[in-house]
Amino acid sequence: MSTYGTPGAGPTGPVVHDPMTLPADDNVNAYTFCVELKSGQWFLQKGKMIAYYGAIEFNGIGHGRLDRLVRTSFHSPLHASDWVVAEGSGRMLLADRAFDVNSYDLDDGNLTIRAGNLLAFQPSLALKQSIVPGFLTLIGTGKFVAASNGPVVFMEPPIRVDPQALVGWADCPSPCHHYDHGYLTGVLGGLRAMTGLGGVSGEEHQFEFVGAGTVLLQSSESLMDETATGAVPAEPGVPGGGVPGPGGHGQQPPGAPRLPGQLGDLQRRFGL
Amino acid sequence: MAFREINSKMVEATVLPGQRLFSQRGAMLAYRGDVSFTPNVQGGQGGLMSMLGRRVTGEATPLMSVEGSGTVFFGHGGHHVHVIHLTGDTLYVEADRLLAFEGTLRQGTMFMGSQGGVMGLVRGQVTGQGLFTTTLQGQGSVAVMAHGGVFEIPITPQHPVHVDPQAYVAHHGEVRNKLSAALGWREMVGRGSGEAFQLELSGSGTVFVQASEEKL
């Protein structure tokens, strides 16, 4: 038989929580995470808090006394307005549109995650923009909460990952692009590429990971909404810095890599 | 056993040299090893006639063949995935629900109108599945997609099963299916229960039902 567990609901029906029985810094069910605050702080993305017990204050970052947080924990002031500081004592529940939510512990480590997937993190972690556009890197020791479309699966390199299924990676050297277009070569393949007959497999382009580390995959190819990671300084040599925004031709556009789709696109890319 | 369920939305498939898998295009999430993904012009197995048959009947779903040696992870659109093992019998499933299946399975197209006559035709209209469905026959496993979790209901000659047409995913075994309509004057004046049409499956086999009435 299949397994279709109903999270949080036992055979006797839904579990009723009160402030005492709510888990501290753990998942309530697959879609909700409970954070315990003991006169501490947490950073969360705007609009991801669904309920709380106790005395918790939510403040936008970058105003008044919270100004120095930007300096100490964000390092990239330009997207700090998307974040909220929760301060006080109590328990708060985080969720994001019934996506699967998971917490991760970093112990003096680093993890790079797609910006849209990150929901909340402890201030002991430093959030930085990744060199890879659209990604954020968390460095240090602490806990963070991330959402994904379908449960997250951890994989060891070497592995090649569909760009839409990638959530993030830890301790890995930066990923590189990999192209599978073997079927577009040769006589038949050339014919295929020229006429467009037969279509494309949609799997011509992957991210390749090698070396030691962990790759985080979500179980679906539906991306979460993008969130701004903030602009990077427009200097030569900074990826994504030169031409802001996608749509720049002539070079690989920053942000999301071009999706395999149109055949003309493929031909140009493979130089056919 | 080529497919292994990693979680409710992802399956792992082992690809060995000489063994081919078919999967829906774009459904690969990640892979290890040396694996190639080739778009399949014919949309599956069989010769030219099978391909034409699928094209004509609208059961041609974009497939790709997966070959090589390694491990491939499949998942698509955040849908739940259910692995069905076939031991010689025939699985009836809509082509767009197929996530991946082993190359050892014979793929065919069946005219639904041949079961249940006129009601069979109405059935296709009501369920939006069309008049044709895909059959897979032989030894091997299939990964099908569903919105919400999938559960199996056994069908025995004594106990026919009624399924909401929108929640129906697939069935296998010696099963007759017909659409039973409970249309009355209430439906005519727009006060129906919303359950006017049901799929009645009788015989012996298994029907797979999704926990949602949303189609893929």
Classify each residue of B56-67 as buried b or exposed e, where b means 16 or more C-beta atoms within 10 Å of its C-beta: ebebbbbbbbbb
Total tally of structural domains belonging to chain B: 1
Q: Using an 8 Å Cβ cutoff, are B68 and B17 in contact?
A: yes
Assess if residue B193 is contained within a domain: yes
CATH code of the domain covering residue A101:
3.60.160.10
Place of tokens 């015989």: B203
CB-based contact A153 B73, cutoff 8 Å: yes
- Are A38 and A136 members of one domain? yes
Domain housing B43: 3-210
- Are A78 and A118 members of one domain? yes
The pLDDT score that the predictor gives to residue B212 is 83
Assess if residue B216 is contained within a domain: no
CA distances in angstroms from A228 to A77, A121, A245, listed in the order given = 12, 17, 11
Mutate to test the interface with A, among B9, B12, B23, B29 (most CBs of A within 10 A): B29
Token readout for A178 is: 């990999």
Q: What is the pTM of this model?
A: 0.76
Distance in angstroms between the alpha carbons of the first and the last residue of chain B: 26
Mean pLDDT per segment of 10 residues, for chain B of length 216 residues? 85 90 88 86 61 63 85 89 90 87 84 58 60 83 90 90 86 80 66 71 89 80
Q: Is the N-terminal amide bond of A253 cis, ω within 30° of 0?
A: no
- CA-closest candidate to residue B168, choices B207, B130, B195: B207
Assess if residue B190 is contained within a domain: yes
- How far apart are the C-alpha atoms of A138 and A73, rounded to whole Å? 10
- How far apart are the C-alpha atoms of A171 and A174, rounded to whole Å? 9
Q: Using an 8 Å Cβ cutoff, are A118 and A102 in contact?
A: no
DSSP three-state, residue B47: coil
- Are A155 and A271 members of one domain? yes
Q: Which residues does chain A have with pLDDT short of 70? A: 1-13, 62-72, 75-80, 181-202, 230, 240-272
The pLDDT score that the predictor gives to residue B7 is 86
State which of A148, A166, A193 marks the end of a domain.
A148
The pLDDT score that the predictor gives to residue A199 is 62
Residue A73, phi then psi, degrees to nearest 5: -115, -15
Total tally of structural domains belonging to chain A: 2
- Are A74 and A129 members of one domain? yes
The pLDDT score that the predictor gives to residue A16 is 82
Token readout for B133 is: 């469905």
Sequence-ordered list of residues with C-beta below 8 angstroms from that of A7, at least 6 positions apart, any chain: A29, A30, A31
Assess if residue B147 is contained within a domain: yes
- CA-closest candidate to residue B23, choices B78, B99, B76: B99
Type and span of the H or E element at B55: helix B48-57
The pLDDT score that the predictor gives to residue A79 is 64
Token readout for B54 is: 């699928």
CATH code of the domain covering residue B103:
3.60.160.10
CB-based contact A4 B211, cutoff 8 Å: yes
Place of tokens 């299939």: B142
Token readout for A166 is: 């990638």
Q: Using an 8 Å Cβ cutoff, are A138 and A88 in contact?
A: no
Assess if residue A197 is contained within a domain: yes
State which of A128, A148, A168 marks the end of a domain.
A148
Mutate to test the interface with B, among A203, A204, A214, A222 (most CBs of B within 10 A): A203
Q: What share of chain A is helix, strand, coil (3-state, %, to 5)?
A: 15, 40, 45
- How far apart are the C-alpha atoms of A222 and A225, rounded to whole Å? 9
DSSP assignments along B102-147, one per residue: ETTSEEEEEEGGGTTHHHHHHHHHHHT--SEEEEEEEEEEEEEEES
Q: Compute the nearest-CA separation of A23 from chain B (Å).
A: 24
CB-based contact B78 A149, cutoff 8 Å: yes
CB-based contact A159 B32, cutoff 8 Å: yes
Does this complex have an ipTM over 0.85? no
- Are A153 and A130 members of one domain? no
Name the A residues in 130-159 with CB < 8 Å from any B CB: 149-151, 153, 155, 158-159
| CA Rg value for chain A | 21
Q: Compute the nearest-CA separation of A183 from chain B (Å).
A: 6
Sequence-ordered list of residues with C-beta below 8 angstroms from that of A266, at least 6 positions apart, any chain: A181, A184, A193, A200, A204, A260, A272
Torsion of CA B160, B161, B164, B167, to 10 degrees: -140
- Are A35 and A144 members of one domain? yes
Type and span of the H or E element at A68: helix A67-69
- Among B6, B31, B39, the residue with its CB nearest the CB of A199 is B39
- Are A87 and A190 members of one domain? no
- Are A55 and A88 members of one domain? yes
Assess if residue B166 is contained within a domain: yes
Place of tokens 């006129």: B118
Provide the β-strand partners of residue B69.
B34
Assess if residue A235 is contained within a domain: no
Domain housing A210: 149-224+260-272
Provide, as residue numbers in chain A, all residues whose Cβ is less than 8 Å from the Cβ of B142. Answer: none
Provide, as residue numbers in chain A, all residues whose Cβ is less than 8 Å from the Cβ of B21. Answer: none
Assess if residue B215 is contained within a domain: no
CB-based contact A221 B29, cutoff 8 Å: yes
- Among B39, B73, B150, the residue with its CB nearest the CB of A201 is B39
- CA-closest candidate to residue B40, choices B114, B107, B91: B107
State which of A95, A124, A148 marks the end of a domain.
A148
Classify each residue of A107-121 as buried b or exposed e, where b means 16 or more C-beta atoms within 10 Å of its C-beta: eebbbbbbbbbbbbb
- How far apart are the C-alpha atoms of B214 and B216, rounded to whole Å? 7
Name the A residues in 165-194 with CB < 8 Å from any B CB: 165, 180, 182-183
- How far apart are the C-alpha atoms of B184 and B200, rounded to whole Å? 18
